[in-house]
Amino acid sequence: MTVTLADVEAAAARLKGVAVETPLIESPALNERLGLRVLIKPETLQRVGAFKFRGAYNRLVQLTPDERRRGVVAFSSGNHAQGVALAARLLGIPALIVMPADAPAVKAEATKGYGAEVRFYDRLTESREKIAAEIAQERGATIVPAFDDPHIIAGQGTAGLELVRQAHALGASFDMVVSPTSGGGLTAGIATAVKALSPKTALWGVEPEGYDDTRASLEAGERRPMVPTRRTLCDALETPCPGELTFPILKAHLAGVAVISDAEAAAAVRYAFTTLKLVVEPGGAAALAALLAGKIEPPAGGTLGLVLSGGNVDPDLFARIVRGEI
């Protein structure tokens, strides 16, 4: 099943007045450093502090009355969890989120704060998919995937729809758009919208070292799951394989995928705070990290769209990064 521009536009209509239409912002300092015009899409300002609310609400608002009554189950390390929890609260739907016990405390507490029930699991010894499936079967609840769902992809794609239309309002068009990439929901959604409205725009994804499954899959021409051997500072991007639905979209539209280190992610978080005056989590700063580190060669003198996908960073970790301890 594919996702079309019409699906993204329909999602935008459902989200109108509910999700935040995040602005495009511009930094002269960043423009000067990179030698081009950069229009930044700060999804850190979205409800729940990340783009995930877009897809979650678009999925849940389409549930039938009976499905709403029986509730939803999701599994996530944090941002999708919060997106589903808030969307469920707004729509009066019971929600249970399966989260790893080592998820950032700020994300777990926020998820509970939105009214969702949280079930913690050990990511090394338990399967979140199995736990979620058992709970869903027991309750008759609907599982809400983090990325591999056409309604989720379409919802995330509204960020790309806004990106292009806001740029046009400024008299600009994009030579390139760069986005953090994990399971592929955001990047696939953005690609669907951007390529439909601006076919010549080059699209790049960015992944952390050790979780560069999309890069490996694109090189192989087929989905290649990875077996993670370590954690990454970019906890929001720790997905070991692109989705069945997202991968064909990524394969069709991405010009490439850059890979960043934890040190480069941390440097981008510091830059976002000190220069852009924005709080961005490491995974959310992945696209900025790739540009600052020279991992992507942007078009000289051109216009680039940059997505900062989330700002839900643990306060202690953030302080250590800003102090240069990481």
Q: Name the residue with tokens 């990047």.
A: 187
Is the CB of residue 219 less than 8 Å from the CB of residue 268? no
Q: Is 52 in the active site?
A: yes
* Annotation says 198 is catalytic: no
Instruction: Report the Cα 277 to chain-centroid distance in Å.
Output: 21
Select from 284, 231, 265, 281 the least CA-distant residue to 100.
Answer: 231
Residue 44: half-sphere exposure toward Cβ, Cα within 13 Å? 24
Q: Pick the catalytic residue: 179, 182, 198, 309?
A: 309
55 residue type, one letter? G
Residue 7 near residue 269 (C-beta atoms within 8 A) = no
Given a contact cutoff of 8 angstroms between Cβ atoms, the answer to whether 77 and 237 are in contact is no
Instruction: Give the tokens for residue 226.
Output: 């990875």
Token pair in block for residue 46: 């979205």
Q: How many CA atoms lie within 13 A of 147 on its CB side?
A: 27
Q: Pseudo-torsion of CA 172, 290, 55, 108, nearest 10°?
A: -140
Catalytic residue among 41, 52, 107, 195: 52
Q: Is 178 helix (H, G, I), strand (E, B) or coil?
A: strand
How far is it, in rounded angstroms, from Cα 128 to Cα 241?
A: 15
C-beta of residue 214 within 8 angstroms of C-beta of residue 223: no
CB atoms within 10 A of CB 86: 25
| Active site residues per annotation | 52, 309
